[in-house]
Amino acid sequence: MVETTPKFPDVNSKEFKKRVRKTKKQLKLASKELETRYKECDNEGHYSPNTENNMCYHCFRQLEYKHPEIEAIMEERKKLPMIHQPLDGAYWAKKRREDEEHQRSLDWSRGLRKILELYTN
């Protein structure tokens, strides 16, 4: 069995550079469109919310950011007497913020992909 490596395009070729310019232009336009949709939903509420999927189909963001693992840990701790509760609340608050930032980043990527699919197909 002969192993072949994938052939990558020549990054110095004119057609490769042309494709990169086209892609950059498409991403820039999609970013502007997504920013506009974010502002519309922020100012007037979500246009196409779907509560079943927890997503707005206009701006492609989650309606509510949930942290089930962190919430489960915090609920377990509430059951403990105050004297036995660990003192790592700041850690879990930071973890919750990081998780939300990650979810927002995924929303942005999903939104760009959906907009590119809408306008390039």
Predicted structure pTM score: 0.73
| 10 located within any domain | no
The residue segments making up the domain with residue 111 are: 22-120
| 6 located within any domain | no
Phi-psi region of 86 (alpha: psi -120 to 50; beta: other; left: phi over 0): beta
How far is the C-alpha of 112 from the C-alpha of 114, rounded, in Å? Answer: 6
**Tokens at residue 30, please?**
């999609």
| 27 located within any domain | yes
| 4 located within any domain | no
Instruction: Say how many domains are in the chain.
Output: 1
- Cβ atoms of 111 and 34 within 8 Å: the answer is yes
| 8 located within any domain | no
CA nearest to 20, candidates 31, 9, 30: 9
| 104 located within any domain | yes
> pLDDT tens digits, residue range 53-111?
999 999 999 999 888 888 888 888 888 888 877 888 788 889 889 999 999 999 999 99
How far is the C-alpha of 87 from the C-alpha of 91, rounded, in Å? Answer: 9
- Cβ atoms of 86 and 77 within 8 Å: the answer is yes
- Cβ atoms of 30 and 115 within 8 Å: the answer is yes
